[in-house]
A and B are shown apart, each in its own frame.
Chain A
Amino acid sequence: MELLDRLEMAEVEETLKRLQSQKRVQVIMVVNTEGIPIKSTMDNPTTTQYANLMHNFILKAWSTVREIDPQNDLTFLQIRSKKNEIMIAPDKNYFLIVIQDPTE
């Protein structure tokens, strides 16, 4: 079991590293369900700000989806703006936030 966990951890770490090395990916953040950032590639104040703002938004979106159909669940959230694209993948315990530059 422990071995599996360690492998999983390594795998996830690797995945995150790959994500970071992808073209035009600017920021990767892991935020817990209360809006507290756990991991981030950005400096602390900006991270906190992002985490707070995102948290409200995510909860609203999730609540909306489930309100319409409680059996439904939010799998992915994407905010595309002029300058960048914020992608949020909600999980049971955490939110993974990736900010990418969408210019083609």
Chain B
Amino acid sequence: MPQKQPPRRQSISVGRGTRKRDEDSGTEVGEGTDEWAQSKATVRPPDQLELTDAELKEEFTRILTANNPHAPQNIVRYSFKEGTYKLIGVVNQLAVHFSQVGNLIPKDSDEGRRQHYRDELAASSQESTKVVISETEILEEEEELKETEAETEAGSQTDMPVAEVAEKVTEEELMTPKQPKERKLTNKFNFSERASQTLNNPLRDRECQMEPPPRTNFSATANQWEIYDAYVEELEKQEKTKEKEKAKTPVAKKMGKMAMRKMTSMESQSDDITKVTQAAKIVERMVNQNTYDDVAQDFKYYEDAADEYRDQEGTLLPLWKFQNDKAKRLAVTALCWNPKYNDLFAVGHGSYDFMKQSQGMLLLYSMKNPSFPEYIFSSESGIMCLDMHVDHPYLVVVGHYDGNVAIYNLKKPHSQPSFRSSAKSGKHTDPVWQVRWQKDDMDNNLNFFSVSSDGRIVSWTLLKSELVHTDVIKLKAEGSTTDGLDGLQLHTMGCGTAFDFHKEIDYMFLVGTEEGKIYKCSKSYSSKFLDTYDAHNMAVDAVSWSPYHTKVFMSCSSDWTVKIWDHTIKTPMFIYDLNSAVGDVAWAPYSSTVFAAVTTNGKTHVFDLSINKYEAICSQPVVTKKKNKITHVQFNPIHPIIIVGDDRGHVICLKLSPNLRKMPKAQSRPSPPGVRAGQREEVQLPEE
């Protein structure tokens, strides 16, 4: 170091101070310094103290102490004990110039020991691996020695004697071969990241798919009727459960199940076609309506306009013609309108010919279907008469040629007659000419009357599915009691051919006989007649009470005449001669003065007593073939039509023209007693 310039005037420790020549002087180096010093003129700072030489030579003594010039010289602390500030005696003079937190740890501490232990393990493992090679061993030992030395030196602050080192080495030698490698402590200076990628296994998708469930589209509408149907179904179910609860017998259940099974199996077996019956019926009717459209129109709407000009005449318009192949050979023997269904009528077929007796048929036609009957029944013996019950319109009673009577039930169209009389049960011995339903008797049993040529009028009662007969009257031909052998009185029986019951007086009825007499009888008197009328010369074909006049009745006969009577008077009121045997007469239901008669020459006569008392206002041939005899006629209760049956098995429906349908005028004064409403004034008796 070069010589220093004149001594500094400041203390050594003070760094403070202005820049001085000191620094300049400090940098003087080598030879060049002198020159530099000489060449350079001393630069005096302007504020330098100017001192005299004597002052300059003055010596000052400086003492070097170990005191910290920065340390405070008097520290005062508050003493709570005394309550005053007290001077602290000794002040810490330690000045820390530099401090650094190092990573050296004392050997004896836990961490130190741990590290040492780890190091030892590492060393011993290295040793064990190189045990085989002896040379290397030795080298290793040496190395280890060195390592341990270095470690110990580095790791501790105190000096370790070599002996200790040697001990440690032996210890390491004895250690187990298992050793973890030297672990590198990671810190921010000593950290390296190493990454490696493992082999990525190829990915594979594994799927499993099942069969999708079957799907169907469902759509529905919620209509008014669907809702209604659902409700109805629900109701039915409820009712069924109720019924099941009520009828709870195991036997019945079994039976029910069996029946059910049978039913279902039957239903499935039966052909599909049967279920179309109803539809087929309707279609048939419609087809017929189309076919006979004009007829249907006429029936409903046609009114003969010419009647306005024909003052006292009317016509009959033919409408439908009903015929059936099976009944072709049979004559129409009876006609009857159904009381309930105004378009339904029954036709009885049989034969009037004594020689040619064959089977009989009962056909029921509806005007809605003129081509085929609604119901067909056949019987062995010809049907001679029939009647429909008013209250039970499905019951038809029929009288046969062989004297039997039978009741057919229309509700069971395929079966035989529900009830049938037989020889045991008192059938007639001769053809039954007329049958009539009566009101139910007191036990509510059905009963009817029949009249026959054997002279008996019999009352039949239906008792629990059996026909029981009661002879009401035996017709005795008057004046014919002859004395037979042994004084017996033989009575020849009269033959009843027609009868009719009074509309109001229930017990009174009229019987027409083959002899031409008409007897007025009563149900209560079995042997005596109330009255007798010598009506005709030949057999009485029909008798009929007037629906309006309670006293008037009408009779017709094969002696070509129609007679109208008042039952209180023995002689008829009116007699009409029709030039041909009269088959049937019928009163009109709408007027008290109108009636119709049919004759065997094929003509239909309609009379209206209010218009013409002596002649028919309409006489019209209605059958096509000349030899066709008309046998019966009936008025329809509601519609202005009549049906006419002939002996060829045809039934013709005719419409009455307006002139024939004149309704009686409304009565101005109260009707006299005994006269029903809607009837004309009493017709005066004509001259005979």
A residues neighboring B (CB under 8 Å)? 1-2, 4-5, 7-9, 11-13, 15-16, 18-19, 22-25, 30, 32, 38-39, 63, 66-68, 70-71, 75-76, 78, 85, 87, 89-96, 98, 100, 102, 104
Contact = CB atoms under 8 A, between A and B. Distances in A.
B271 A70 contact: no
Nearest to B412: A4
30 contacts: A1-B266, A2-B266, A4-B414, A5-B266, A9-B270, A11-B277, A12-B280, A19-B283, A22-B288, A24-B291, A66-B224, A66-B228, A70-B224, A70-B225, A76-B286, A87-B287, A89-B278, A89-B279, A89-B286, A91-B276, A91-B278, A93-B272, A94-B275, A94-B276, A94-B279, A98-B286, A100-B287, A102-B290, A104-B293, A104-B294
Nearest to B297: A104
Contact of B291 (A7, A23, A78): A23
Contact of A75 (B224, B282, B290, B371): B282
B272 to A, nearest CB: 6
Nearest to A65: B225
Nearest to A80: B290
B284 A30 contact: no
B274 A100 contact: no
Contacts of B463: none
B227 interface: yes
A66 B291 CA distance: 30
Q: Does more than half of chain B's interface fall in helix, strand or loop, or is it mixed?
A: helix
Contacts of A38: 272
Nearest to B262: A1
Contact of A87 (B278, B281, B283, B372): B283
A12 B293 contact: no
B287 A9 contact: no
A76 B285 CA distance: 11
A22 B274 contact: no
Q: How large is the interface on B (under 10, 10 to 19, 20 to 34, 35 or more residues)?
A: 20 to 34
B132 interface: no
A82 to B, nearest CB: 15
Nearest to B225: A66
A68 B224 CA distance: 8
- Nearest 9 A-B pairs (CB), nearest first? A70-B228, A66-B225, A89-B279, A96-B279, A91-B279, A70-B225, A89-B282, A8-B274, A5-B270
Given A4-B414, A22-B287, A12 B282 contact: no
A96 B225 contact: no
B273 interface: yes
B286 A13 contact: no
Contacts of A7: 414
B223 interface: yes
Contacts of B151: none
